[in-house]
Amino acid sequence: MRTIFFTGNSGPEIVLTAAATAGVTAQSGLRTLLVSIGPVHALSPLTGGSVGNEPHEIAPNLSVWALDVLEDVSNFWEQTRARLSGSMPLSLSGDELPIVPGMDLLLGLERLRRHAATGYDLVAVAVGPQDMFLRTLSVPDSFRWGLRLLFGLDRGPGRNPTSLHRALVPTALLPLEWFNQVQTARVELERLRDQALDPAHTTVRYILRPDAAALEEAYLAVPALQLHGLVVDALVAGPLLPADTSDPRLTAVAARQQELTSAAAHVWASRPLLRLPLRAHTSGVADLQALGAELYAGRRAEERYVVSLPIEQNIGDDPFIAIDLPGLRREALGLTLSGDELIVRAGPYRRHLLMPESLRGTSNIRANREGDRLVVRLRR
């Protein structure tokens, strides 16, 4: 199964591009699932019909699904409460639970992975604006960092017995069952994120609004998505005015849009820049299929346009970790070494990245930019 996530500058173009992609792939004969994750769904007016909290088919090879993340969070909490009832009685119900930012989307991705993994050739997922998506991706890493600081890590990725002795809260003061549950939850959270976003089967299409402010955001968001392990394999610029508009009031706008899309095509030259035309009305599967055919203009919508992985590691004689950060300006990049983690900053976005074992326990490392790649290796 192939999964494509759609995110970018805030706007309705995200779900529109996902729907157009799903429409054209279904038309080509691929069994396709169109999914919207988030508190607000815009699938109904686009598809011309109702959309529920379970997948249902609206056209040959095309099913739609709008996840109810509040219900998912409530169900997850009820299951957790039942599991912990013996060691930690919890009276708070799922409907009372406050929503931790990002947790709803993360649980939605897990439900998507479990229920949509079979029976579909392609899943097109509209995950909403880039900020919420990126902060959701950072939740497991932030949880690991906080747990290492407070209690130490005794299992799973990042396991470090030394951190238990350096922890702020001695583990001897904690109930063993509670401590084990917290440590296991941390490992499961990382596993959940990594399985739902496996870069071997998953890519991102970045939706770029054609204005100067949106382009500035993209200079940071596109490399930040790669930093979090997702392959950005294409950009979609739109909605775009036709270049030959006869209205003089729109001529300057169309020219400015062309200038900005040309700049984006230059910065991300290794990725196709697709063009989403401005339309007065799009409703129903036929409209989406026509828009998808125009958007991909002879390309196969399901194709993976970038094959390299965003993060690579070498554990041989020359151990290193390399991160592909396309378009990231030098002044927006920041690096901090914290224990076993490399903290990488891309403007307002940051990731606590677990270092390969061969690079842990030493500060004798160096980082270089090699084109778009940040390469961290031992200092020779």
List all residues 6 or more positions away from 99 whose beta carbon is below 8 Å from its beta carbon. Answer: 70, 73
Q: What CA dihedral angle connects 62, 196, 308 and 32, to 10 degrees? A: 0
**Residues 69/40, Cβ–Cβ less than 8 Å:** no
pLDDT for residue 81: 62
- Between CA 328 and CA 369 the distance in angstroms is 11
pLDDT for residue 210: 95
Task: Provide the 8-state DSSP code for 330.
Answer: G
- pTM of the predicted model, to two decimals? 0.90
- Between CA 72 and CA 82 the distance in angstroms is 16
List all residues 6 or more positions away from 82 whose beta carbon is below 8 Å from its beta carbon. Answer: none
pLDDT for residue 91: 60
Cβ atoms within 10 Å of 361's Cβ, excluding its own: 12
Tell me whether the omega of the peptide bond preceding residue 239 falls within 30 degrees of 0, making it cis.
yes
Q: With a cut of 50, which residues of the chain have pLDDT below it?
A: none
C-alpha distances (whole Å) from 363 to each of 320, 341, 351, 352, 377 are 14, 11, 19, 16, 11
Positive or negative: CA dihedral 110, 112, 114, 117? negative
C-alpha distances (whole Å) from 258 to each of 7, 206, 239, 240, 254 are 21, 18, 12, 9, 6
List all residues 6 or more positions away from 117 whose beta carbon is below 8 Å from its beta carbon. Answer: 1
- Between CA 148 and CA 78 the distance in angstroms is 27
- Between CA 277 and CA 10 the distance in angstroms is 17
Set out the domains of the chain in order of their start, with CATH numbers. Answer: 2-137+198-296 (3.40.50.300), 139-195 (no CATH), 311-378 (2.60.40.790)
pLDDT for residue 99: 64
Q: What CA dihedral angle connects 96, 101, 103 and 108, to 10 degrees? A: 100
pLDDT for residue 85: 58
pLDDT for residue 97: 62
The sheet carrying 349-354 orders its strands as 333-338, 341-346, 349-354
Q: Which has the closest alpha carbon to 359: 336, 344, 376?
A: 376
β-strand 56-59 against 62-67: which pairing, if any? antiparallel
Two tokens, residue 16: 């529109």
- Between CA 104 and CA 72 the distance in angstroms is 7
Cβ atoms within 10 Å of 95's Cβ, excluding its own: 11
